[in-house]
Copies of this chain bind each other. A is one copy, B any other.
Amino acid sequence: MDAVTSHATGFAKALRAMRDALGADNVLTEKLEDHGDPFAPAGEWYRPGAVLLPGSVEEVQAILRIATEHRMPVWTSSQGRNKGYGGGAPRVSGDFTISLRRMNRVLAVDEENCMALVEPGVRFFDLYDHLRATGSKLWMSVPDLGGGSVIGNALEHGVGYTPIGDHFANHCGMEVVLANGDLLRTGMGGMANAHNWLVYPHSAGPSWDGMFSQSNFGIVTKMGVSLFPAPEVYAPGWFTLKDEAQFGPFLEALRPLMIDGTIPNQPMIINAVCAASAFGERTRWYDGSDPVPEEVLDRIAATPGFGRWVMRFALYGDAPVVAHNRAKIERVLGAIPSGAVTFDEFDGQDLPELTNPHHRVQAGIPSMALDQMTRWYGGEEGGHIGFSCAMPIAGRDGTAIRDLARAVLTERGLDYSAAIIVGKRSMIHVALVVFDTKNEAQTRDAYAAVKAMLEPAARLGYGEYRSHLDFMDEVAALYDFNNNAQRRFAERIKDCVDPHGILSPGKQGIWPANMRRH
């Protein structure tokens, strides 16, 4: 029996056992499109062999027992909605995948401490609906698209746009199923009757949470996530910058406002293409098939409310504090040549129905409206992948990565659509490479363009903060300090906690011993 036949036999046996354990309805072998890489060329890479839908921790443990017995790896996603990075697809096509969508309970909302305990299948929409249905006044944090998993987003170091928008930093406590089926609770959850699991992040001893983020060492089945009290005033703001030459000075002016907390949320800075893409297709601005030229960018930028760069941000808090910070921001950013600041203000205690999707997302209200951005090249089947690297909030860094991304994309005939997400001391520059998934050549160009940016960015000193399945090995290889010490350490831990290589082989470039190729 050759290796392929042996694998097929093992897979078939495991599949039967999975059906016995979960019930046939919870083991999918067809119509798996919603569980693969949503944007890859049809029929190509990154498809699951079967999708497993456990409904409980015990069923997750049962899956791992079967997977271990048959030496069949399982890839895990919570909702599989990180579409720009491969969705719920496995790194190795044909592998089993676990989708945690059925584990979708909001287990607790602690009004006093502004925390929730959720399962990984809980989407931002679900948590929001739960809060409103139960009469909670608390606000939550959401990314631009609300269909993803609250836990999955945090584990991948995803972000939202409220003052608690650094989702991983604002979690507290995890429950993790290890590869051998053992159950670990981190932080104060290490105590069986803990009275403080969701409020204090450590225990006595090492803090484990970080190693279960962006990794394949365990399956997170519960997590505490932060909420926040409704502010007296919610004041979303815009900064528009008409002159590209002021991009660097703008970032220099922004940094101190972030570090001292004048701007408390996570702003997003988008360029003209990205801003325009939220409102409609490319053909509204340009008919050529070459990248949108400078004069068109200037035409977009000259449109009221637009700019070469536009920053979305918001203030939250007591009225006098918001008023002071608003005036300060108007003074500082308003002084930048060609820059303009505008604000809206809402009663945070009695929020009206918000229609602007940007206003909604910064108030933690889930939405799918911004999915429009991916349809820049037309049709209903827009795709996007992200080239996403971290850097200081600084003119020299912002312009360096802008110039690099723009040059690589232009060379391949693609538009440079940028969304820069700003934190307290760093910003993630996302080159949101959008394409028409029905255009196979353009799709391939988009994937290739992102790959082509990785090494030049690394030479400048910028590492990806996250990566599409298709580039995980390349990204890991570029973390090259001391002969790839991070990857070597990750492999050592992998061999220890998952010696049979059952959990998500290849995730973030971490392969089990029997699959390593470097």
**Identical chains bound together, number:** 2
> Of A325, A426, A480, which is in contact with the most chain B CB atoms at under 10 Å from its CB?
A426
Q: Identify which of residues 234-279 in chain A touch chain B, using a CB-to-CB cut-off of 8 Å.
A: 255-256, 259-261
Chain A 79-123 per-residue mask, 1 if CB under 8 angstroms from chain B, else 0: 000000000000000000000000000000000111100000000
Nearest chain B CB to A140 CB, angstrom units: 14
**Interface residue? A464 (CB, 8 A):** yes
Q: A19 at the A/B interface (Cβ < 8 Å)? A: no
B202 adjacent to A206 (CB under 8 Å) = no
Chain B residue nearest to A202 in the complex (CB):
B157
Write out, one digit per residue, whether chain A residues 478-518 have a CB within 8 A of any chain B CB (1) or not (0). 11111001111110110111000000000011100000000
Instruction: Find out whether the CB atom of A462 lies under 8 angstroms from the CB atom of B195.
Output: yes
Interface status of A312 (Cβ within 8 A of chain B): no
Interface size classification for chain A: 35 or more
Q: Which of A444-484 contact B (CB under 8 A)?
A: 458-467, 472, 475-476, 478-482
User: Do A490 and B206 touch (CB < 8 A)?
Assistant: yes
A133 at interface (Cβ–Cβ under 8 A)? no
Known contacts A184-B489, A229-B256: A196-B479 contact under CB 8 Å: no
CB-CB nearest in chain B for A191: B463
List the B residue with the shortest CB-CB distance to A110.
B392
Q: A324 an interface residue at 8 Å Cβ cutoff?
A: yes
A157 surroundings in chain B (CB, below 8 A): 202
Residues in B whose Cβ lies below 8 Å from that of A480: 190-192
Q: Which one of B113, B466, B472, B485 contacts A184 once the chains associate, using CB atoms below 8 Å?
A: B485
Q: Is the CB of A463 within 8 A of B196?
A: yes
Q: Which listed residue, B192, B195, B425, touches A114 by the CB 8 Å rule?
A: B425
CB neighbors of B among A43-65 (8 A) = none
| Contact residues, A132-187 vs B (CB, 8 A) | 157, 168-169, 172, 178, 182-186
B196–A391 CB distance below 8 A? yes
| A260 pairs with B229, CB closer than 8 A | yes
Cβ distance A385 to chain B, nearest Cβ, rounded Å: 15
In the complex where A392-B196, A487-B205, A490-B205 touch, is A185 in contact with B463 (Cβ < 8 A)? no
Of the listed stretches A4-12, A20-28, A70-78, A208-216, chain B binds: A208-216
Taking a contact as CB atoms closer than 8 A, the residue among B205, B394, B487, B496 that contacts A510 in the complex is B205
Of chain B, the residue at the smallest CB distance from A463 is B191
Q: How far is the CA of A113 from the CA of B461 in the complex (A)?
A: 17
In the complex, whether A207 has a CB less than 8 A from a CB of chain B is yes
Contacts of A193 in B (CB 8 A): 459, 461
Q: Is the Cβ of B485 less than 8 Å from the Cβ of A205? A: no
The answer for the CA separation of A231 and B193 in the assembled complex, in Å, is 42
Is A13 part of the binding interface, using a Cβ–Cβ cutoff of 8 Å? no
| Nearest B-chain residue to A479, judged by Cβ | B190
Say if the beta carbon of A126 comes within 8 Å of chain B: no
**Interface status of A189 (Cβ within 8 A of chain B):** yes
Alpha-carbon distance between A260 and B322 when the two chains are bound, in angstroms: 13
User: For residue A260, which residue of chain B has the nearest CB?
Assistant: B229
Interface membership of A321, Cβ < 8 A: yes
Chain B CB within 8 A of A328 CB: yes
A236 to chain B, nearest CB (A): 19
Do residues B259 and A113 form an inter-chain contact, with CB atoms below 8 A? yes
Greatest chain B CB density within 10 A among A191, A212, A324 is at: A191
Known: A188-B463, A259-B113. Is A211-B211 also a contact (CB below 8 A)?
yes
Q: List 15 A-B contacts (CB under 8 A).
A: A112-B394, A113-B255, A182-B482, A190-B463, A196-B426, A202-B390, A203-B486, A204-B479, A206-B212, A208-B486, A209-B210, A229-B256, A318-B324, A321-B325, A493-B493
A residues sitting closer than 8 Å to B (CB atoms) are 112-115, 157, 168-169, 172, 178, 182-186, 188-196, 198-215, 217, 228-229, 231, 255-256, 259-261, 317-318, 320-321, 324-325, 328, 390-394, 397, 423, 425-426, 428, 458-467, 472, 475-476, 478-482, 485-490, 492-493, 495-497, 508-510
5 further A-B contacts with Cβ under 8 Å, apart from A203-B486, A205-B487, A209-B210, are: A184-B485, A184-B486, A196-B391, A196-B392, A205-B486
